[in-house]
Amino acid sequence: NQSGSLYDRIGPDALAALVERFYARVALDPDLAPIFPADLTQTAEKQLAFLTGFLGGPPLYHQRYGHPRLRARHLPHAVTPARGRAWLACMNAALRETPGIAPADARELYAALSRVAAHMVNTPG
């Protein structure tokens, strides 16, 4: 399925598993945990909806919550360069430990998320 979207190649089950592993790591990260809610259930649900559309699947986030306006939604949170790196480190680790994501797809997803993460940084270190 190399010609389909990243969403088609990864599939909904592996994507959900990835998001679950990602927030398990966020909850344990000393830089990230303090700016996230203690209960990450809704955050994870929104992220799964966002990534589904971002990777070329159905636009679930738009349907449920409207335009993501991601940079604006992050402005209330101090996203420093260190937190950007911590976020990407959690994602990289989650990608490696989620079964069913081919290494080439993991690299492509990570590269795309690196660009979005750089755009979310809103506070100097």
Contact residues toward ligand HEM (CB under 6 A) are 32, 35-37, 42-43, 46-47, 50, 65, 68, 70, 73-74, 77, 79, 83-84, 87, 113, 116-117, 120
Q: Which is nearer to ligand HEM, 73 or 107 (CB)?
A: 73
Q: How far is the CB of 88 from ligand HEM (least distance, A)?
A: 7
Name residue, tokens 């100097």: 124
Q: Which is nearer to ligand HEM, 9 or 26 (CB)?
A: 26
Q: How far is the CB of 20 from ligand HEM (least distance, A)?
A: 15
Q: How far is the CB of 72 from ligand HEM (least distance, A)?
A: 10
Q: How far is the CB of 44 from ligand HEM (least distance, A)?
A: 9
Sequence-distant contacts of 72-81: CB under 8 A, at least 24 apart: 74/120, 74/122, 75/122, 77/35, 77/122, 78/35, 78/122, 78/123, 79/120, 79/121, 79/122, 79/123, 80/121, 80/123, 80/124, 80/125, 81/121, 81/124, 81/125
